[in-house]
């Protein structure tokens, strides 16, 4: 609903404050949970859903058309990224706090859905760091958590350094929560966030060398050396 709202770029530190703005004059509030049980979070596409989509698309479209269709490229890229992220999470843990929106007794992933899909293969990770984004009427439910009221506090919880870039998309005063989405750059995750062109090329080369591949949850759990397939 709010994805058409402008995305605003901030460099830390900043004299402007998107966290203050996201409170919409006291309508919304934000909390930080260092150990949020991710099993409570509702998200749309499970890892098996991605497997089913890829396998069915290859069967119905044929491998060549599957790889060439531009509308497929976002999810094709996620095949590579998720395979990388599962291995990265096993070794480094979750780097970025999630943004979780709470309303009407439901927690919804406002960002980080791909991390939740990756965690399906990493059962030993039982909690994530998270910003809980909600309306002021629910604030008493989160009194035990740290209240986040400024961008400086938010960025420090993200372990930001000076010059780091943040992106925010806000909702409005009538929304059930103040932030629609956020993201920031991180050196720790840069090596496992390849671009779409790289990913599509790598999957193309992989399927050429491994025809008949059937994507499964177990397939994602085993790291592929994608650098073998980058020169397409």
**d(Cα 200, Cα 30) in Å, to the nearest integer?**
37
- Give the pLDDT score at 38: 95
**Sheet with 41-42, edge to edge strand ranges:** 41-42, 106-109, 98-103, 128-135, 28-36, 146-147
- Give the pLDDT score at 156: 98
- Give the pLDDT score at 192: 72
In a structure prediction context, what are the per-residue pLDDT tens digits for the chain, which is 232 residues long?
Answer: 787 999 999 999 999 999 999 999 999 999 999 999 999 999 989 999 999 999 999 999 999 999 999 999 999 999 999 999 999 999 988 889 999 999 999 999 999 899 999 999 999 999 999 999 999 999 999 999 999 999 999 999 999 999 999 999 999 999 999 999 999 998 767 667 899 999 999 999 999 999 999 999 999 999 999 999 976 5
**d(Cα 60, Cα 40) in Å, to the nearest integer?**
35
- Give the pLDDT score at 93: 87
Beta strands 41-42 and 106-109 are parallel
The H or E element that residue 29 is part of is: strand 28-36
Angle at 124 between CA 122 and CA 129, to 5 degrees: 85
- Give the pLDDT score at 232: 52
Whether the link from the prior residue into 13 is cis, omega within 30° of 0, is: yes
**Chain-centroid distance, C-alpha 6:** 19
- Concatenated DSSP letters of 74-104: HHHHHHHHHHHHHHHHHHH---SPEEEEEET
- Give the pLDDT score at 87: 94
CB neighbours of residue 141 within 10 Å: 13
For 131, list phi and psi in degrees, rounded to 5. Answer: -95, 125
Map out the domains of the chain as residue ranges: 8-232
What is the percentage of the chain residues whose pLDDT exceeds 90? 90
Question: Using an 8 Å Cβ cutoff, are 160 and 201 in contact?
Answer: no
């Amino acid at each position: 609903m709010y994805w058409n709202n402008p995305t605003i770029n901030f460099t830390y530190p900043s004299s402007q404050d998107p966290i203050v703005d996201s409170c919409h004059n006291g309508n919304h509030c934000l909390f930080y949970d260092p150990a949020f049980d991710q099993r409570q979070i509702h998200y749309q596409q499970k890892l098996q859903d991605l497997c089913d989509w890829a396998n069915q698309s290859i069967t119905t479209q044929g491998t060549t058309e599957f790889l060439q269709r531009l509308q497929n490229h976002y999810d094709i890229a996620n095949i590579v990224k998720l395979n990388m992220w599962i291995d990265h999470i096993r070794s480094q843990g979750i780097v970025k706090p999630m943004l979780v929106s709470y309303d009407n007794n439901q927690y919804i992933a406002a960002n980080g859905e791909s991390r939740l899909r990756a965690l399906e293969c990493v059962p030993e990770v039982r909690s994530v760091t998270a910003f809980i984004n909600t309306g002021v009427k629910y604030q008493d439910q989160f009194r035990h958590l740290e209240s986040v009221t400024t961008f400086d506090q938010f960025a420090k919880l993200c372990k930001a350094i000076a010059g780091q870039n943040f992106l925010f998309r806000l909702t409005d005063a009538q929304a059930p929560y103040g932030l629609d989405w956020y993201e920031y750059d991180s050196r720790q995750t840069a090596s496992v966030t390849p671009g779409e062109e790289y990913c599509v090329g790598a999957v193309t080369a992989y399927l050429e060398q491994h025809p008949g591949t059937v994507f499964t949850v177990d397939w994602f759990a085993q790291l592929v050396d994608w650098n073998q397939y980058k020169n397409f």
